[in-house]
Every structure is written in C-alpha cells, then in structure tokens.
Amino acid sequence: MITYTDHRKKSLRQRLRSRKGQQAIIIFAFMFIPLLLLFLFTYFPFAEMFKFSFYKMKYTGTRTYVGLDNYKEVFENKQIFSSLKLCLYYMAGSIVQLVIALYLATMLSFKTKGGNIFKGFMFFPFLINGIAIGFIFKFFYTRGFVFDTVLQWCGFNLENLPFWLRTQGLNNVSLVGTSVWRYFGQNMVLFIGAIMSVDAEMYEAAELDGANKFQQFMHIILPSIKTIVTLNIILSITGSLSAFEPPYVITNGGNGTATYFVVMNRIAHTNQKVGLASAMAIVLLMIIFTATILQKLFFKFAFRNANAEDEVVTSKKRRRNKVSKKQKEAV
C-alpha cells in the first residue's frame, strides 16, 4: 500500500518507485529509442541539409558560404522552373487515379462476382518494385513492342501510332500512366476498407426512401469516407510533386521528362552542386507544405455541408456503443 502523505520528504528512490515515477520511467524508456532514431536519421540530416543549402559546395573539397544565392538560383534557373511544370501532369494523373480507384472501390464493395480476384489483380502492381516497373514499361512503350502490338491487335496501324516516349508531352502522359497503373490498386484497397465501415442499414434505409445507387454513393458513401478521400488526395498531390522513379528509370529524365526530383538528383550527383540541390529540397518542402495547407482549407470548405450528416452517423454510433457497453456490463 502506498500512502500519499508527505511528498517533499520522498527520496529519489522512493519517487522512482511511486506509480508516477514508474510511469515516467516506462514512458521515457519506450520513447527514447524511437526518438533517438527519429532524430538521428530524420532531423539531424535535415538540419545538415538546411545548412548545406547556404553553401557553395561539392561532396569533396572546400565549402564557401554564399548566403541565399542558392535559393535565388532555384527560382532563376530555367531548367528547375520548367521541371516544376511537369508536376501538373502527375497531379492530373493522380486525380484520374483517385477517380478510378473510388469507382472500382464502390463497385467492389457491393456484391460483385469474383470481387476478391479483381481486388487481388488490381492491387498486385503496388507490390512490384518501382524500378522493376520502370524496366517493364521501358519495353512496354518501345516502338513495336508490347503496347504497339496490343494496339495493332485492336486494329490500329503501326504507322499511325505515336512514339510513346519520343513525342514530347505525350511521353509525360505515358510516364504518368505507369504511375497510375501502379498506385490505383492501393488507393482502391484503402477506399474499400473505408466503405466497409459504412453501416449497411443506411443503404437499406436509403433504398426504402427511393435513392438510386449514385445517390447512395453521393450522400452516404462519400461523406462517410471523406477523411480517407482527403488523405489520399493529399498523399497523391504530394507524391506527384516528388515523382521520381518512372522518369528516372524509363527515360532517365531525357526529352523533357525531367521532374523536379530528377533534376535535383542530377544537380547533386552529376553536377556536384550539393548546395543548390539542398536549396531545391527545402523549396520543395515549402511547396509541399503550402499545397497541403491549401488542400486542408479547400476540403474544410468543400465538406462544410457534409459535416452535419457525418455527425448524425457518429452520434448514432456512439449511442450504439453505449448500448453494447451496458449489455457487456450486464453480462
């Protein structure tokens, strides 16, 4: 039995033995390692990189402090600026990807024949390594190879087909295609998971009220999974800002496909301008921050009506939880 009488007189040993002290020890012991790892491998390198961004430096050799010159160059360099424009392709791609994923997720969450097989097939690309996907699509898009052959089966004439990786503009669409192919399955699975949690009674009620499937989707499913939709959109937009694997592996950033990351990689490793590349990374971080905040604000605005409906659902759930708790207690 512990008696809480005189707190001041407790020795360190006693304090450590007390319930509070034990809690503190456990908390500290458990937090220390993950925090240490987090600091060592995330915040410390980041701080170093932030420092590098103010220097003109290579990996080897002397470093000179140049102040904000690197940041100035990020905005003045034509190559870097044009690479940012490519993000638009990837953002458009991520919207397409989310629409496809949401559509298929809705389809598959109702009763579908062979639903699980479809889910498996569509999720599969996500399991393949990104570099391997790059190599697959390199041959997929090569003139007269897989894609052209398939299109020829469909009656297209090879003469009329474009060069998928050579024509500027179209090559970015081709690259975005690979990224959509890879990630839509993963988004779909996340959506299915969220849709599963929607109360089936609500569909029944809606059907009784005469709502069709599309109305059910708009008014029941979408508001119920809006958190996961928002999350996926934010992740896809940030992902499209930092697209790297498809252009790096398939085209090596050539022919107008060099995204921000590919340019950054080239500047850091080939041109050895480590300071400039670090500044680019910091600028990208700022862009991602801004994009995320803007999206948050946008969704707050877009879902302001849905909130009311959502509350109904949660309060209903809460009530049911209470009931089940009471039942448990009774048992």
Partner 1 sequence: MRLKKFVAIGTAVVLSLSCVACSKKAENKKDNTKEATTETTETDKATDDTAEAATDDAAAEQELSYANIVLGESYTDITTTIKVYNHRTDMNTEDYPGTTWSEYVAEFNKMYPNITVEVETDTTYADNALLRLQSGDWGDIMGIPAVDKADLSTYFIPYGDVETVSKQARFINNWVYDNQVYGIPSTGNAQGIVYNKAVFEKAGITTIPKTPEEFLAALQAIKDKTDAIPLYTNYAAGWTMGAWDAYLGGSATGESTYMNQTLLHAKDPFSDKGDNTHAYAVYKILYDAVAGGLTEEDFSTTDWEGCKGMINNGEIGCMVLGSWAYPQMQAAGEHADDIGYMSFPITVNGKQYASAGPDYCYGINANSSDDNKKAAMVFVKWMTDKSGFSYNESGIPINAEDNNYPEVYSAFEGIEFIADDPAVAGEEDYLNLLNTDSDLMINAGGNTKVQQIIENAANKGMTFDEIMAEWNEAWASAQESNSIEVNQ
* Residues at the contact surface with partner 1, assessed by CB under 8 A: 22, 26, 29-30, 32-33, 36, 58-61, 79, 138, 141-143, 163, 165-166, 168, 171, 251-256, 266, 269-273
The length of the chain is 331
**Whose Cβ is closer to partner 1: residue 26's or residue 218's?**
26
> How far is residue 284's CA from residue 261's CA, in Å, rounded to a whole number?
9
**Residue 28 beta carbon to partner 1: minimum distance, rounded to whole angstroms:** 9
Cβ 195 vs Cβ 225: under 8 Å: yes
Q: What is the DSSP string of 121-186?
A: HHHHHHHS-HHHHHHHHHHHHSTTSHHHHHHHHTT--GGGS--TTTSTTHHHHHHHHHHHHHHHHH
Q: How far apart are the first and last CA of the chain?
A: 31
**Residue 72 beta carbon to partner 1: minimum distance, rounded to whole angstroms:** 13
Q: What is the DSSP string of 108-125?
A: HHS--TTHHHHHHHHHHH
**Residue 220 beta carbon to partner 1: minimum distance, rounded to whole angstroms:** 42
How many angstroms separate the Cα of 296 from the Cα of each of 96, 141, 289, 304, 324?
20, 37, 11, 12, 35
**Whose Cβ is closer to partner 1: residue 75's or residue 298's?**
75
Chain centre to alpha carbon of residue 201? 32
**Whose Cβ is closer to partner 1: residue 18's or residue 142's?**
142
**Whose Cβ is closer to partner 1: residue 145's or residue 298's?**
145
**Residue 44 beta carbon to partner 1: minimum distance, rounded to whole angstroms:** 16
* Secondary structure class of 290 (helix, strand, coil): helix
**Residue 137 beta carbon to partner 1: minimum distance, rounded to whole angstroms:** 10
**Whose Cβ is closer to partner 1: residue 33's or residue 330's?**
33
Cβ 222 vs Cβ 133: under 8 Å: no
> How far is residue 331's CA from residue 328's CA, in Å, rounded to a whole number?
5
Q: Residue 143: what residue type?
A: R
**Whose Cβ is closer to partner 1: residue 120's or residue 254's?**
254
**Whose Cβ is closer to partner 1: residue 252's or residue 324's?**
252
**Residue 87 beta carbon to partner 1: minimum distance, rounded to whole angstroms:** 20
Q: Residue 173: what residue type?
A: V
**Residue 86 beta carbon to partner 1: minimum distance, rounded to whole angstroms:** 15
